[in-house]
Amino acid sequence: MSFRIPLNGDIGAISFMGSRREGLASSYKFKVGLDLRKNDKRTWSSAGIPCCSMQQSPPPAWPGRAVVEPGHTSWDSPKPIAIVGSTGSIGTQTLDIVAENPEKFRVVALAAGSNIDLLAQQVKAFKPELVAIRNGSLIGQLKEALADADYKPVIIAGEEGVIEVACHPDAATVVTGIVGCAGLKPTVAAIEAGKDIALANKETLIAGGPFVLPLAHKHNVKILPADSEHSAIFQCIQGLSEGALRRIILTASGGAFRDWPAERLKEVKVADALKHPNWSMGKKITVDSATLFNKGLEVIEAHYLFGAEYDDIDIVIHPQSIIHSMIETQDSSVLAQLGWPDMRLPILYTLSWPDRIYCSETTWPRLDLCKLGSLTFKAPDNMKYPSMDLAYAAGRAGGTMTGVLSAANEKAVELFIDKKISYLDIFKVVEETCNAHRNELVVQPTLDEIIHYDLWAREFAASVQPSSGITPVLV
């Protein structure tokens, strides 16, 4: 079977040879040469990064089930948490939850990037013991902003400061809200310190899974997903018996072009891709929703989180975005988690698990299915969303290939938003970057190798010159 996506100008077409559900678990071939076959041996690459022999996949964070450990007791005092990335979307929503549930949670440490004004407000409101600012040149401004505060935390700067927040001795759970590979080192440090992870940093597993998961098992640390789709799956596997999980079904809104024919995609402008049909988000995630790369990356993350084989992870378009994802059990029962689109619910569950916390109807509206009316579903179109096949292929290759895919996509989206490449060139750039990486793939990378290839992928993606008539990117 061959899926083809029409591309601009001289590129022609990308051809995906075979279907992901036709047993091609070890090989995907693309017309322009991306061949992600698993080789038996890896050698030293030209970049000087050592590659290693093919090994089994790392153990999943949750092997298809979630069972509360014997002897678990609920916190009889506010649970101490640290937040890495406190001024971002995940961080601010986490603090909203803490503010509404002061008897359940307390903040012991905060880390942020450069938003001094907001960080100062957070310090005054939540009185953490430790605060870190990644941009060390701004530490003086932060101290000045807190000069009139009646409470003064310890303030440290730089990446080491962020790592100190992640390792705060009193924290039971660390919320990882930093975007990109910048969140990897603090997350690894928190795991090594024995902290449970409320996971909102996708690179932790998509790029770092082969390294991070064995580390989490070694330190008996729980990785609790804070994004809505994986939280839905996590909620659905509660109490399953061993081996009961049969299939994971990830739901997708379909993005800006869910109702467009594939032939129209060559006409896409940046403004078109930023018109999400359901809600307002940042530019990067909105474009990822349009290309469906967000869902392809979630497939990889689901594999690492729950141990499902790639043939057992499906994507379905669900325009209403009420069912956040589903699982199928061995006896064909399908379990789903439903709710209004609100990131606070999955964040709350990472903090409270295995307990459930009462939420008022005022700030947490209850779902009314009768008012909603109907829920609809359709299969995603591979011609419209070639990102799916790229993601499944990268996932099957494993190792550093998944991090390269993610980093290349991030760079390609940046180039598209800056109008340096066309919309369809996003797929081309990602494909070319993965293709270039296949001879250097490291199956069981170290943390340094993961970070190295993340940077390499961004640089390579920036250098790709799509043959679509767009002005080449200068690097």
> Does CATH place domain 79-225 in 3.40.50.720?
yes
Spatial contact of 62 and 245, defined as CB atoms under 8 Å apart: no
- Report pLDDT digits (tens) over 183-210: 899 999 999 999 999 999 988 999 999 9
Compare 202 and 8 and report the one with higher pLDDT: 202
User: pLDDT value at position 427?
Assistant: 97
| pLDDT for residue 104 | 97
With a cut of 70, say whether residue 13 has pLDDT above it. Answer: no
> What string of H, E and C letters represents the secondary structure of 92-137?
HHHHHHHHHCCCCEEEEEEEECCCHHHHHHHHHHHCCCEEEECCHH
One-letter amino acid of 261: P
Tokens of 335: 């379990």
Q: How confident is the model at residue 411 (pLDDT cuts 50, 70, 90)?
A: very high
The residue ranking higher by pLDDT, 227 or 54, is: 227
Most confident of 28-32, 180-184, 450-454: 450-454
Q: Under CATH, which architecture does the 245-314+377-462 domain have?
A: Orthogonal Bundle (1.10)
Q: What average pLDDT does this structure show over 222-236? A: 97
How far, CA to CA in Å, does 409 sit from each of 47, 297, 367, 426? Answer: 22, 10, 35, 7
Tell me the per-residue pLDDT of 36-83, one tens digit each, with 9 for 90 and over.
433 333 322 333 333 333 346 899 999 999 999 888 889 999 999 999
How far is residue 66's CA from residue 87's CA, in Å, rounded to a whole number?
31
Neighbours of 164 (CB within 10 A): 19
Which pair of tokens denotes residue 7? 């591309």
pTM: 0.87
Percent of the chain with pLDDT over 90: 79
- Spatial neighbors of 78 by CB under 8 A, at least 6 apart, are 102, 103, 104, 105, 106
Measured in residues, the chain has a length of 475
pLDDT in the model for residue 278: 75
CA-CA distance, 188 to 448, in Å (whole number)? 12
Cα 388 vs. chain centroid, distance in angstroms?
15
Indicate if the alpha-carbon torsion angle 262, 266, 271, 274 is positive or negative.
Answer: positive
- Residue 192, both tokens: 């090594």
Domain range summary for the chain, segments of one domain joined by +: 79-225, 245-314+377-462
User: Do the Cβ atoms of 37 and 26 come closer than 8 Å?
Assistant: yes
pLDDT tens figures, 325-364: 999 999 999 999 999 999 999 999 999 999 999 998 888 8
Residue 71 phi/psi, 5-degree rounding, is 85, 5
Could you please report the per-residue DSSP string of 211-241?
Answer: HHHHHHHHTT--EEE-SHHHHHHHHHTBTPP
What is the average pLDDT across 439-457?
96
* Residue at 182: amino acid letter: A
Predicted confidence at residue 275, as pLDDT, reads 87
pLDDT at position 467 is 61
pLDDT at 16: 27
